[in-house]
Amino acid sequence: MLVLINLDSAVERRQAMAHQLDQHVLAFERLGVDLRCVRPAEVERQIQSRFPGLRFNRKTLSDAEIGCWLSHLSAWQCLLRQSAHAACTVIEDDLLLLPGFANAVKVLCGRARLPAHEAPQPGFPFDLVYLGTSSRNVSQRRRTHVDGLCVHEPIGVIYNTWGYSISRSYAARFFSAGPRSIHLPIDHFLGGRGGRAGPRVGVLQPAVVTEDPVLGAASQIGPYTRRLDRSPLIETVRRRVLASALSEFYYALYRYL
């Protein structure tokens, strides 16, 4: 099962992703919840109608970030409604799909064949596997091999949600946990700051998705959030540091971890 997160207004992004997915001969569902320019009452209505057991902290999360949460949660909800699927791959709409993408989706979605109440399979302990990430704090020694793929453990937090495969068992556990308050953006929650409520994550290497340099630079959330790391200045500095020789030297240390 493959879900593309794409807002109705993002036509250029939708066309670019649909073209790539057609090349990989992959069917997909599209969904997206856009709360960027709606009234507060409509934001609350959307939350209550879709996920009444959840409360979002409006002091720490912007409406755009809540919409991002609802988009991803809706994908997980689709997974649980369709019993034929053991896992779901979720991708955002500013990506380049690399060789091996279709095979990775098939392999990872075939791993989580467990009843919802059971723990992850022995030898494959991940609830969520990133298909690619700008975060490079990934151990090169702590890795799990599965059907030709190599899933590595991150050291610290992974800070983006480009694309991932999530197991049915984790999605079921998330929704069955009862009422809860959410105060983190979804990329922080999934990537390691969600505590016991968050998934255990792995990172696929080599990656099978990467950010489109043009579409990825034009954030759809950045103008609608108070997060410093979403500001154009911080984002520009981050990209330059990651592309620098200093970054290459620093992250080379992870090969020994």
* pLDDT score, position 115: 41
Report the distance separating Cα 136 and Cα 159, nearest Å: 10
Helix (H, G, I), strand (E, B), or coil: what is residue 97? Answer: strand
* pLDDT score, position 238: 64
Q: Which domains does the chain have, with CATH numbers?
A: 2-256 (3.90.550)
* pLDDT score, position 66: 96
* CA separation, residue 152 to residues 2, 138, 141, 160, 200 (Å): 22, 7, 8, 16, 12
CA atoms within 13 A on the CB side of 200: 11
Over 60: is that where the pLDDT of 116 sits? Answer: no
Over 90: is that where the pLDDT of 180 sits? Answer: no
* pLDDT score, position 248: 74
Report the distance separating Cα 195 and Cα 5, nearest Å: 25
| Of 214 and 239, the one with more pLDDT | 214
Written as one string, the DSSP assignment of 123-162 is T---SEEEEE-S---EEEEEEEEETTEEEEEESS-----S
Over 70: is that where the pLDDT of 207 sits? Answer: yes
* pLDDT score, position 119: 44
What is the pLDDT averaged over residues 165-171?
Answer: 95
User: What's the residue count for the chain?
Assistant: 257
The answer for residues whose C-beta is within 8 angstroms of residue 180's C-beta and 6 or more apart is 53, 54, 55, 197
Over 60: is that where the pLDDT of 246 sits? Answer: yes
* pLDDT score, position 185: 93
* pLDDT score, position 215: 87
Q: Rounded mean pLDDT of the chain?
A: 88
What is the pLDDT averaged over residues 29-36?
Answer: 95
* pLDDT score, position 98: 97
Q: Tell me the two tokens of residue 29.
A: 């569902």
Over 90: is that where the pLDDT of 63 sits? Answer: yes
Report the distance separating Cα 247 and Cα 244, nearest Å: 5
Categorize the per-residue pLDDT at 94 as very low, low, confident or very high, splitting at 50, 70 and 90: very high
The CB density around residue 155, as the number of other CB atoms within 10 Å, is 14
